[in-house]
């Protein structure tokens, strides 16, 4: 496995641009807003930012429906603003990763406008048109095929009907898409996050997907013909050759409906550098939606970590760790209630001390909570469709909470989604001033990850996974670090193996905790701590 490569050891911070910082008082965040906050990010200690889409978009899926791959939506700024953002990021040692949404475009993309104009249009074959639909379902609800009365055919859309899937089998499409990558590489992008990349190719014969047990239409099918086709691998080879023609570039794929096995299979020296396996989120999302179980338990986590690491190790590739992103209910709200941050610190500790590249989602460092929204406030298409069974993704996309001024310092006007009402207490400024805050804890963890190589590339060795305690070691030739967490609200004791001797406490989320006595390490309620051994 390649060692000491920036992205392996990096902490990557996801920015959802429209909710990060609004510099021009229109209620939407923008690129200059991000540039204005780079010092904050540098101080946090992150190595790279991943920007969710900022390209021109009619906003049917809030930027994930792109109408021009090679531009900036005027509401988010200009190409010159992008250049400034890249230059200023680089000046601070922060790399910039862009979100490439290339499974589909917006239906307002000129390519699709031409394609739908008539059956003989040279761009007709740039999208997927058929006389008769098959049984495929759209992820956001309903059939995946939309009838176009003027040309009398159906086009495919795996997401909303305003997001037609492009035909990656057409060589001109392939060329045009790779050119878009090149455009941003030339402008200084350090890498890409590939949106639903494993759905680019569909089976050429469009067979019906077989049924499976599931809650929604989309879940009630096995997705074997609408994604993960073998043609993806040669395309990744080609993309990797392009990336490797520039120094130090990186690509991480969003493996749609991906297991660790599947994600790992797309990574390697001639494929993607990394692919999300969502080990700590996906099980819980379905659990959460059906409201059945609460699986955020030490044993479950330990099992997930070991399973993931075994699969990625066997493939000789490096995993990623994700707890939250713009598609999921924030982890702290999935796994805890109320405003107390004990569980948030446990989640952050796991995120930043496992093997694999951690991805932090904006606001996670201050433990922003999922924002409760009324039905009338929901703008996210699947949320509107499935309310109240599924409330959509707006709750994790509300504005960043910078300070206690109106609109949380995000904007001087009413933002596109309202700010979480807890912003008066929960905000960056307040937490900067509090040594025991989530923010300072996160900063300390990132700094430890940087200064202790065992936390980057060290082996993962399980120590305990009981009803209440999760503990493991990260160890390499430079040393060993014990990470111990008490999930319960009562004090507990971790009994250490005889060979383990904690020498120095590097960090704890609790106050006034006791030192170890013999092989007994006392843990305060909800404590997360790191010890040098």
Name the residues that contact ligand GLC, by CB under 6 A: 61, 64, 101, 159, 195-196, 254, 326-327
Coil, helix or strand for 186? helix
CB-based contact 214:220 (threshold 8 Å): yes
Specify the 3-state DSSP secondary structure of 504: strand
Least distance (Å) from ligand GLC to the CB of residue 142? 15
End-to-end CA distance of the chain: 27
360 Cβ neighbours under 8 A, 6+ residues apart:
11, 12, 13, 14, 46, 351, 442
What whole-number distance in Å separates Cα of residue 197 and Cα of residue 24?
Answer: 33
Residues 189 and 290: their CA atoms lie apart, in Å, by: 40
Q: For ligand GLC, give the closer residue by CB, 313 or 327.
A: 327
Q: What is the DSSP letter of 516?
A: P
Is 146 in the active site?
A: no
Q: Which is nearer to ligand GLC, 101 or 346 (CB)?
A: 101
Our CB check for ligand GLC shows the closer of 227 and 482 to be 227
* Nearest distance in Å: CB 297, ligand GLC: 27
Residue 460 parent element (H or E): strand 459-465
Q: How many CB atoms lie within 10 A of CB 75?
A: 18
Biggest CA-to-CA distance, the chain: 80
Catalytic residue of the set 65, 146, 195, 364:
195
Instruction: Report H helices in 104-225.
Output: 110-117, 171-186
What residues does 520 pair with on adjacent strands? 495, 517
Nearest approach, Cβ of residue 494 and ligand GLC (Å): 38
**Which one of the listed residues 30, 254, 341, 365 is annotated catalytic?**
254
Taking the complex as a whole, the smallest distance from the CB of residue 393 to ligand GLC amounts, in Å, to 7
**Is the distance from CB of 218 to CB of 138 less than 8 angstroms?**
yes
Q: Which is nearer to ligand GLC, 322 or 485 (CB)?
A: 322
Say whether 377 is catalytic.
no
Strands (E), 27-121: 48-51, 95-100
The nearest distance, CB 143 to ligand GLC, in angstroms, is 17
Task: Specify the residue, 107 or 309, whose C-beta has the smaller distance to ligand GLC.
Answer: 107
Contact 54, 77 (CB under 8 A): yes
Nearest approach in angstroms of CB 315 to ligand GLC is 23
The residue at minimum Cβ distance from ligand GLC is: 64
CB 383 within 8 A of CB 390: yes
Of the two residues 161 and 326, which places its CB atom closer to ligand GLC in the complex?
A: 326
Active site residues: 195, 254
């Amino acid at each position: 496995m390649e060692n000491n490569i920036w992205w392996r050891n990096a902490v990557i911070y996801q920015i959802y641009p429209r909710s990060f910082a609004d510099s021009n008082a229109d209620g939407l965040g923008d690129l200059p807003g991000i540039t204005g906050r780079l010092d904050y990010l540098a101080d946090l200690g992150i190595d790279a930012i991943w920007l969710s889409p900022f390209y021109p978009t009619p906003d049917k899926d809030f930027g994930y429906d792109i109408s021009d791959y090679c531009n900036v939506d005027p509401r988010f700024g200009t190409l010159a603003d992008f250049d400034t953002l890249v230059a200023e990021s680089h000046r601070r040692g922060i790399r910039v990763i862009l979100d490439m949404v290339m499974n589909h475009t917006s239906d307002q993309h000129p390519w699709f406008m031409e394609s739908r104009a008539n059956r003989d249009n040279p761009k007709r074959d740039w999208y997927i048109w058929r006389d008769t639909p098959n049984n495929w379902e759209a992820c956001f609800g309903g059939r995946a095929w939309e009838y176009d009365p003027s040309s009398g055919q159906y086009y495919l859309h795996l997401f909303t009907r305003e997001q037609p899937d492009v035909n990656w089998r057409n060589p001109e499409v392939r060329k045009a898409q790779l050119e878009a990558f090149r455009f941003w590489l030339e402008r200084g992008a350090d890498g890409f996050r590939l949106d639903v990349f494993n759905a680019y190719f569909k089976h050429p014969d469009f067979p019906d997907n077989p049924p499976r047990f599931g809650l929604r239409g989309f879940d009630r099918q096995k997705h074997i013909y609408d994604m993960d086709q073998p043609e993806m691998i040669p395309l990744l080879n080609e993309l990797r050759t392009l990336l490797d023609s520039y120094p130090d570039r990186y690509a991480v794929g969003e493996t749609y409906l991906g297991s660790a096995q599947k994600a790992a299979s797309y990574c390697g020296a001639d494929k993607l550098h990394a692919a999300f396996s969502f080990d700590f989120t996906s099980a819980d999302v379905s659990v959460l939606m059906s409201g059945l179980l609460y699986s955020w338990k030490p044993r479950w986590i330990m099992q997930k970590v070991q399973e993931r690491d075994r699969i990625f190790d066997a493939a000789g590739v490096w995993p990623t760790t994700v707890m939250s992103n713009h598609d999921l209910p924030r982890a702290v709200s999935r796994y805890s209630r109320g405003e107390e941050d004990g569980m948030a610190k446990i989640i952050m500790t796991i995120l930043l001390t496992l093997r694999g590249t951690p991805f932090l989602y904006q606001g996670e460092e201050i433990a922003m909570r999922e924002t409760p929204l009324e039905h009338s406030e929901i703008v996210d298409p699947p949320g509107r469709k499935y309310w109240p069974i599924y409330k959509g993704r707006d709750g994790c996309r509300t504005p960043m909470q910078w300070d206690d001024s109106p609109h949380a310092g995000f904007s001087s006007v009413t933002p596109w989604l309202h700010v979480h009402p807890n912003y008066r207490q929960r905000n960056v400024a307040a937490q900067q001033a509090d040594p025991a805050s989530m923010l300072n804890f996160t900063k300390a963890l990132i700094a430890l990850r940087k200064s202790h190589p065992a936390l980057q590339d060290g082996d993962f060795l399980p120590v305990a996974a009981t009803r209440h305690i999760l503990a493991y070691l990260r160890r390499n030739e430079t040393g060993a670090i014990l990470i111990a967490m008490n999930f319960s609200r009562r004090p507990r004791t971790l009994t250490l193996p005889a060979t383990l001797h904690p020498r120095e406490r590097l960090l704890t989320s609790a106050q006034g905790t006791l030192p170890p006595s013999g092989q007994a390490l006392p843990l305060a309620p909800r404590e997360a701590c790191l010890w040098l051994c």
